[in-house]
Structures are given as structure tokens and as C-alpha cells.
Amino acid sequence: AFFETKLKDNKYHWATEQIRLHKEFDKLLVSGGLDHRMDEFISSKVIICVNTSTTTYF
């Protein structure tokens, strides 16, 4: 019973922490605080796609 209680407490802690982190992330998205990071991320994905793609001519 002791271990089951501790396991439940631990899962509850992680669940509440995830909720807190999601709320913090949502606030950052709304504030525009992550806009420059999203631009960097998208740009890096475009570069990876361009570098790894091959051009095929038909």
C-alpha cells in the first residue's frame, strides 16, 4: 500500500507539472515571445530539406 500511494503521488506530481508547463508555454505563444524561435526552427527545417533533397528532371 505504501508503494502504491507513493506511485500515485508521483504520477499526480508529474501530471500537475505538465499542466503547469503547458500553461507557461501557452502564455509564451500568446505573448509572441517564441516568434523568433519558431522562425529559426522553420528556417532550419527548410535548410535540412534543401540539403537532403535531390533534384530529378523528367
pLDDT per residue as tens digits for the range 8-47: 778 888 888 999 999 998 998 889 887 877 777 776 666 6
Question: Does residue 57 fall inside a structural domain?
Answer: no
Question: Does residue 45 fall inside a structural domain?
Answer: yes
Question: Does residue 58 fall inside a structural domain?
Answer: no
Domain carrying residue 45: 2-52
Count of domains forming the chain: 1
Question: Does residue 32 fall inside a structural domain?
Answer: yes
**Whether pTM exceeds 0.85:** no
| C-alpha closest to that of 41 among 54, 49, 56, 27 | 49
Question: Does residue 37 fall inside a structural domain?
Answer: yes
Question: Does residue 8 fall inside a structural domain?
Answer: yes
Reported confidence tier of residue 57, pLDDT bands at 50, 70, 90: very low
Which are the contacts of 51, defined by CB distance < 8 A and separation ≥ 6?
Answer: none
Grid coordinates standing for 43? 528556417
